[in-house]
Structure 1
Amino acid sequence: MNFFLTCPKGVELLLEEELHALGIDETRQTVAGVYFQGELEDAYRVCLWSRLANRVLMSLHQFEVETAEQLYAGVQEINWLEHMRPEGSLTIDFNGRTDGINNTHFGALKTKDAIVDQIRAQTGRRPMVERQTPDIRVNVHIQRGVATLSLDLSGDSLHRRAYRLRAGEAPLKENLAAALLIRCGWPAAAAERPLLVDPMCGSGTLLIEAVMMAADIAPGLHRRYYGFNRWLQHKRDIWQSLIQDAEARRDAGLMALTTKFAGRDMDSKVLRTAKDNAARAGVDAFIEFRTGRIEDMQRVDLPEAATGLMLTNPPYGERLGEESQLMFLYRHLGDLLKRQFPGWQAAIFTGNPELCKVMGLRADKQYKFFNGAIESRLFIYGISDKVEEKSVAAEAQAEPAELSEGAQMFANRLRKNLKQMSKWVRRENIQCYRVYDADIPEYQVAVDIYGDQVHLQEYAPPKKVDKVKSFTRLNEVMAALPVVLDMPAERITLKQRKRQQGTSQYEKQSQTQHFFEVSEHGCRLLVNLKDYLDTGLFLDHRPVRQRIQQEAQGKDVLNLFCYTGTASVHAAVGGAKSTTSVDMSSTYLNWAERNLELNGFKGKAHSFIRSDCFKWLHSQFKPEYDLIFMDPPTFSNSKKMSNVLDVQRDHVELVEAAMGLLRPGGKLIFSNNYRRFKLDYDALSDFQVRDITQQTLDPDFKRNQRIHVCFEITRPE
């Protein structure tokens, strides 16, 4: 009998070797699969024991095909009543095309019709289509005018072992995890490396697969559905014999297992999922799962063993700012391995292979795999056993390393800026301010002080810039900041700033809920340096907020695109009669409400409206405000908005709508951060417009005068 096994790209050679280990010799590799010849028992054995295959396809018929009629006729050459009951169920998988069959859905429909029509003509009954667990699963593959018609004996992809009901955000498929382990020499390597550690284990797939391999547990033993379960030619006695043998091997393997396994992850929720998955696989007793960050990992906290294998699949850094943070993670991982795991073997599977360059280790081997559509690499390192492990106490007593030449250059500029601003900071009692903003071209970062914390933003480098060089400079910044500012590195929060679209500025980047209080001109404000792109306080608008505070006495103040309501707080502290804060983000409106309550303002005089400001402005017709502050985003295509907002294109309409809500003698303060913004004075000629940008720049933003533009707009008397 002829069979074809599908598998992930890059796994073909390993799958062929696995077939040889299962006693199947007649094999041939192709892209994403392996052909083999054998008996039905061989196919059953593959379904039960293959750790690498996706599907087991048993060929029934091959025929030339060009048209839909030829496809229909070729499918009917099989006697389908030999394979299924007349009232049974089926589903069709179809891939490939010809000039006459240029749609896979149409091809699948034509195949189904051929089978159903044949059975109905012979019995008067018709089978039904069932997607999930059909009696038979038919596969049609067309290549170069030849159709191969097969039965899918696996039923569902074999990578689904039935132990993983839930996974983390970026799950690693079970058969890919097994392939990585095999490339690391597992399970034979367990004899000399009796401890396997995954320091970022997620839902535990690597560890669970490793235990199953070491304990000789068949990967398909927990599955209850295969494509042959209700197939009329299914040989139940052969299958049951294979199952009984696998169960005996599992029991003996678990009894003899001495290898130790340890998984760590900082996410306690995903770690609970890992424990549940291990329990369903029947191997939870053999894996020590603990919550912990890789930054805090210590060799002494792991199960005792002379040496071992560390295998992990770090996060891929698709979210905002993660790439730079991941580089620090990779660097820390490299330092950790060199310092605490001499003599070990380490393997890193990553979709960001360039990040491994910062580990400072030379890979002994590397292999290419595809994690879904992502081309990835497995790097295998032998960690030198000549490095002596340093104790935590010894490290704590060590003298800090001298700054490199680049770090020293950055440190000198930072000291100069601090000195220039020191008198102003003391005089104005400023707690939050910018102390560096890409002053040196090679160091494209912004450094902001928030009380006793630092917010460090790396401007995303162009793609042509070497990532490792960019990271080296960021490392120099990170080395210099604690020295110059005399604060521990733990108080420095790093983010990468990129051009934003839609609601990305509103999305959470973390879940720390780390809010803390700062003060500004007598106002108490909550900031959060970790959870969002922005901190909750735009530092460049400090003078604008002070201006609002000085002018708000006895006035009704409207704050449009209010963000976290800091301008509303300044207005209230300045004696405003009322404040109205409008924003489309409930997250930021809640934050605004907390800010006002922190300053003792609560009740009907201070309202919060969740709405698209553009739409809300056009729904208001009564002039009931004396002072309006409007600071729209440069661009927004949020789904919450009725239209796409472009501040350059739409500013005239926004200003005119806002001016219609002002009482006689009222004032609009209009600002935005679009660097190429040009106010349309002609279109706004009915109003008095005064550019007050220079008056709204404090010393910390004098070096970057394009940070924002600001206008004071009133009606002529």
Structure 2
Amino acid sequence: MSERHSLFATAPRGLPDLLATELESLGLAGVHAQRGGVAFEGALADAYRACLWSRIANRVLLPIARFEADDDEGLYRGGLSIDWSQHMGPESTLAVDFTGIKAAISHSRFAAQRVKDAVVDQLRESTGARPSVDVREPDVRINVHMHRTSVTVAIDLSGDSLHKRGYRETGVAAPLKENLAAAMLYRADWPEIAAGGGGFVDPMCGSGTLAIEAAWMAADSAPGLLRTRFGFLRWRGHDDESWKNLVDEALDRQEAGLGRLPPIAAFDNDRRAVRLARANVELAGLSGRIHVERREISAASAPAGTDRGLVATNPPYGERIGEQHELLPLYLRLGETLRTRFPGWRAIVLNGAGCQIGLKPDKSWQCFNGPLECRLERFEIATESEGSRATPAEDLVNRLHKNERQLRKWLKRDNVTCYRLYDADIPEYALAVDVYGAESGRWLHVQEYEPPASVDPGKAQGRLRAALSAIPAATGVPPERMVFKVRRRQRGAEQYNRMSEQSRTPVVREGPCRLEVNLTDYLDTGLFLDHRPVRHWLGEQARGKRLLNLFCYTGAATVHAAVGGAASTTSVDLSKTYLAWLRRNLALNDRDERRHSTVHADAREWLANCQETFDLIFLDPPSFSNSKRMEGSLDVQRDHVAMIDDAMSCLSEEGTLVFSTNLRSFDLDSTLEERFAVEDRSRWSIPKDFERNRRIHRCWFIRHPA
């Protein structure tokens, strides 16, 4: 069975060069990287060696025929020209995979069907019986590749993709395939680091893939040893003796290698990830050899007794629009952790979010994690003496401390726990920093104002990284409790669109009320901090009265009125999401929903048809909205007179309409003062923490004439 064959190993996108290097290291001959993978030559034992030992390859193919085909009939005739009895019998099951490059037949399922028909028809004619199709676990998997009219038919010796090592829990999808993890380790020269006694750490380990691949690589453990199925095991051309010899050799090498494993640690802040990583480590036969622990990224550390090694990790990518900016603090914490806790180590990061970590890579490669384009970045982490520390944002830190001192007495006196600490006080740091004193601990909500085009993007990014690195320590809030967003100019309901699915929803206190905020999923948090005085006033005035809250959003003003003893409240909004949020807020304060109704409607249309009377009305419309769920569009400058007139027709004789807008260019129509008692309360309505930005909103009390 020493016949020589032309063979082909397929590779993940961007990795044929690495696969070629690996196959050469396995002693295989004729290795040549090309599009889609690596061609090589050898006996069946060499193909088996690639299946058992390759950490990079997806599949190993044994070509058995080549022919030309212009159409499906040509493909069928070419399939009939192959003697399939050499490869399977009627008792076998089969599956056909088809790939093509500018193929004459573009419909892959149809092309695969025609080759399958040729196999089945030939075997049925010669034996009187036909093989069955099993697309999941066939005895023989046939690979058909078509380049224009040139067709190559091969036996897939691997069967299933070789990245499936056999240690992952069934049914669990992983964000990082095993062969991409191995590629990361090769790019970082992990085998050489491990041989020199270096340690390994993954500070965001997820399901533990990188740590397991690192352990197997360091222990000289063949990645295919746990697999129970290969494509050649039920193929008629299988050389069982050669295969068993390779497995025996691999088992001997694994036993010897496991005894010299370097220290390997895997950390993650997610409890479920830690449980999953431990389960996978056990399935991989590495229990007691990989330390898995729940830790926040800032607490990751080198294993005891190691002063050099490799940090390898695959941070979250944030596939949703906007999440890349939210992930920036996480990437900066990663950079700070590498700088302070792993000096002298090497690091390799699969960066799919495009976020900088505050360190300069010494080398990087383009690669793909599934369909996602990523950069694989390698860092040599300098020691403290080599001057690796970044210059802190001293001006920003000093201003944060100053603002905190100036607000301290007011915060304590008025029992304010959610407030704006900083609002672009220094032009170079165009940020808004809000503190949310949740019942579970303090959070930071940081927003970057979109810089003007005149600002150099590189300098702006550098200042932003410095600011986000400095803010947690300056405020005494753990870095993992900082949420970051970019605030761009919004139109209408855009500010209410969902940006994320992280759902960090702590409960905060505002005066006597408990309120749920969502720090991650939307541009705003569900609580407009600048309207705090208005909400408190409504709560103080509400006892025994009827409140109408139009464009109610998450209903914080409604909750204040309800807690203040309102006889009833009616809250109107076009969003079911925010009305449900309001009902949760009412439940947090033990308010009976029967007295506090929520109305799903266009507030402007509902108001125009309202026949009820209210003692307090809060009208705070968006500046502009053209939601598909409403008739026409809403423009607060154009439409405010009509809305105020309709609201006043629903207001009791002694009642008060509170009208507010955050449109900076807004002008209240002067004719309103001819018909109603209008009082500008804008100055009063701006709380102390927003005094640096008195244009944040405008506010009027409007009443019927005496």
| TM-score, length basis structure 2 | 0.80
Change (3 A) 1:651 1:174: farther
Change (3 A) 1:118 1:515: same
Which has the higher mean CA deviation after the structures are superposed, 525-534 or 266-275? 525-534
CA offsets per residue over residues 18-51 of structure 1, 9 Å max, x none? Answer: 2222221112111231011222222122111111
Change (3 A) 1:614 1:622: closer
Change (3 A) 1:58 1:652: farther
Is this contact kept in 1: 2:344–2:380, CA < 8 A? yes
Instruction: State the secondary structure of the residue aligned to 1:91.
Output: strand
- Could you tell me which of 378, 381, 399 is aligned with 1:380? 378
CA offsets per residue over residues 215-240 of structure 1, 9 Å max, x none? Answer: 22211111122222332333333333
- Could you tell me which of 31, 34, 41 is aligned with 2:35? 31
Is this contact kept in 2: 1:262–1:303, CA < 8 A? no
Deviation at 1:260, TM superposition (A): 1.6
1:65 aligns with 2:73: no
Alignment match, 1:220: 224
Alignment match, 1:442: 428
The residue correspondences of 1:531-550 to structure 2 (distance < 5 A) are: 533=522, 534-546=524-536, 548-549=538-539
The residue correspondences of 1:306-345 to structure 2 (distance < 5 A) are: 306-318=307-319, 323=324, 326-345=327-346
Deviation at 1:705, TM superposition (A): 6.5
Which has the higher mean CA deviation after the structures are superposed, 63-72 or 230-239? 230-239
- Could you tell me which of 124, 127, 152 is aligned with 1:148? 152
Deviation at 1:335, TM superposition (A): 4.6
Q: Report the Cα distance in structure 1 between the residues aligned to 2:66 and 2:372, rounded to whole angstroms.
A: 33
Change (3 A) 1:102 1:312: closer
Is this contact kept in 2: 1:551–1:574, CA < 8 A? yes
Q: Report the Cα distance in structure 2 between the residues aligned to 1:381 and 1:645, rounded to whole angstroms.
A: 55
Alignment match, 1:579: 569
- Could you tell me which of 143, 153, 168 is aligned with 1:139? 143
Q: Report the Cα distance in structure 1 between the residues aligned to 2:521 and 2:564, rounded to whole angstroms.
A: 29
Q: Report the Cα distance in structure 2 between the residues aligned to 1:134 and 1:583, rounded to whole angstroms.
A: 56
Which has the higher mean CA deviation after the structures are superposed, 305-314 or 434-443? 434-443
Is this contact kept in 2: 1:697–1:705, CA < 8 A? no
Alignment match, 1:6: 10
Task: Read off the aligned partner of 1:374 and give its amino acid letter.
Answer: L
Q: Report the Cα distance in structure 1 between the residues aligned to 2:225 and 2:312, rounded to whole angstroms.
A: 25
The residue correspondences of 1:607-646 to structure 2 (distance < 5 A) are: 607=597, 609=598, 612-614=600-602, 623-624=611-612, 626=614, 627-629=616-618, 631=620
Is this contact kept in 2: 1:658–1:668, CA < 8 A? no
Task: Read off the aligned partner of 1:351 and give its amino acid letter.
Answer: G
Instruction: State the secondary structure of the residue aligned to 1:26.
Output: strand
Change (3 A) 1:616 1:353: closer
Q: Report the Cα distance in structure 1 between the residues aligned to 2:502 and 2:156, rounded to whole angstroms.
A: 43
Which has the higher mean CA deviation after the structures are superposed, 693-702 or 302-311? 693-702
Percent of residue pairs identical: 43
Deviation at 1:295, TM superposition (A): 1.3
Deviation at 1:288, TM superposition (A): 0.7
Q: Report the Cα distance in structure 1 between the residues aligned to 2:77 and 2:631, rounded to whole angstroms.
A: 54
CA offsets per residue over residues 481-535 of structure 1, 9 Å max, x none? Answer: 689xx85354984421345859754855354x5433232xxx4343657555444
Alignment match, 1:606: 596
- Could you tell me which of 459, 484, 505 is aligned with 1:495? 484
Extract unaligned runs of 5+ from structure 2.
none
Change (3 A) 1:284 1:583: farther
Extract unaligned runs of 5+ from structure 1.
396-400
Instruction: State the secondary structure of the residue aligned to 1:48.
Output: helix
1:509 aligns with 2:502: yes
The residue correspondences of 1:430-469 to structure 2 (distance < 5 A) are: 432-434=418-420, 436-448=422-434, 455-461=445-451, 469=459
Is this contact kept in 1: 2:323–2:499, CA < 8 A? no
Alignment match, 1:210: 214
- Could you tell me which of 248, 254, 274 is aligned with 1:271? 274
Q: Report the Cα distance in structure 2 between the residues aligned to 1:369 and 1:644, rounded to whole angstroms.
A: 48
Alignment match, 1:398: none
CA offsets per residue over residues 621-659 of structure 1, 9 Å max, x none? Answer: 873452554556678999xx9679964499979969996
Deviation at 1:171, TM superposition (A): 2.0
The residue correspondences of 1:224-243 to structure 2 (distance < 5 A) are: 224-243=228-247
Alignment match, 1:470: 460
1:370 aligns with 2:344: no
Alignment match, 1:52: 56
The residue correspondences of 1:669-708 to structure 2 (distance < 5 A) are: 694=682, 697-698=685-686, 707=696
CA offsets per residue over residues 182-241 of structure 1, 9 Å max, x none? Answer: 222232322323421222222111110111112222111111222223323333333333
Is this contact kept in 2: 1:271–1:291, CA < 8 A? yes
Q: Report the Cα distance in structure 1 between the residues aligned to 2:457 and 2:174, rounded to whole angstroms.
A: 24
- Could you tell me which of 280, 284, 288 is aligned with 2:283? 280
Task: Read off the aligned partner of 1:509 and give its amino acid letter.
Answer: Q
Q: Report the Cα distance in structure 2 between the residues aligned to 1:169 and 1:228, rounded to whole angstroms.
A: 26
CA offsets per residue over residues 236-262 of structure 1, 9 Å max, x none? Answer: 3333333233233323322x3242211
Change (3 A) 1:591 1:661: farther
Instruction: State the secondary structure of the residue aligned to 2:356.
Output: helix
CA offsets per residue over residues 408-459 of structure 1, 9 Å max, x none? Answer: 8x829x958986x899989977665445433554322113355687643223
1:185 aligns with 2:189: yes
Which has the higher mean CA deviation after the structures are superposed, 551-560 or 269-278? 551-560
- Could you tell me which of 108, 113, 119 is aligned with 1:109? 113
CA offsets per residue over residues 543-564 of structure 1, 9 Å max, x none? Answer: 5435644664543334355444
Which has the higher mean CA deviation after the structures are superposed, 551-560 or 169-178? 551-560
Instruction: State the secondary structure of the residue aligned to 2:82.
Output: coil
Task: Read off the aligned partner of 1:313 and give its amino acid letter.
Answer: N
Change (3 A) 1:79 1:438: same
Deviation at 1:596, TM superposition (A): 4.2
Change (3 A) 1:29 1:636: farther
Is this contact kept in 2: 1:563–1:583, CA < 8 A? yes
Alignment match, 1:18: 22
Q: Report the Cα distance in structure 1 between the residues aligned to 2:626 and 2:644, rounded to whole angstroms.
A: 22
Is this contact kept in 1: 2:329–2:468, CA < 8 A? no
Q: CA RMSD in A?
A: 4.8
Alignment match, 2:93: 89
Q: Report the Cα distance in structure 2 between the residues aligned to 1:93 and 1:303, rounded to whole angstroms.
A: 49
Q: How many residues align?
A: 686
Q: Report the Cα distance in structure 2 between the residues aligned to 1:117 and 1:89, rounded to whole angstroms.
A: 14
Alignment match, 1:292: 295
1:556 aligns with 2:546: yes
Alignment match, 1:568: 558
Alignment match, 1:346: 347
Change (3 A) 1:384 1:624: closer
Alignment match, 1:411: 399
Q: Report the Cα distance in structure 2 between the residues aligned to 1:283 and 1:645, rounded to whole angstroms.
A: 64
Is this contact kept in 1: 2:608–2:646, CA < 8 A? no
Q: Report the Cα distance in structure 2 between the residues aligned to 1:141 and 1:660, rounded to whole angstroms.
A: 74
Task: Read off the aligned partner of 2:595 and give its amino acid letter.
Answer: A
1:518 aligns with 2:513: no
Instruction: State the secondary structure of the residue aligned to 2:428.
Output: coil
Which has the higher mean CA deviation after the structures are superposed, 700-709 or 264-273? 700-709
Change (3 A) 1:320 1:290: farther
Instruction: State the secondary structure of the residue aligned to 1:187.
Output: helix
Which has the higher mean CA deviation after the structures are superposed, 650-659 or 365-374? 650-659
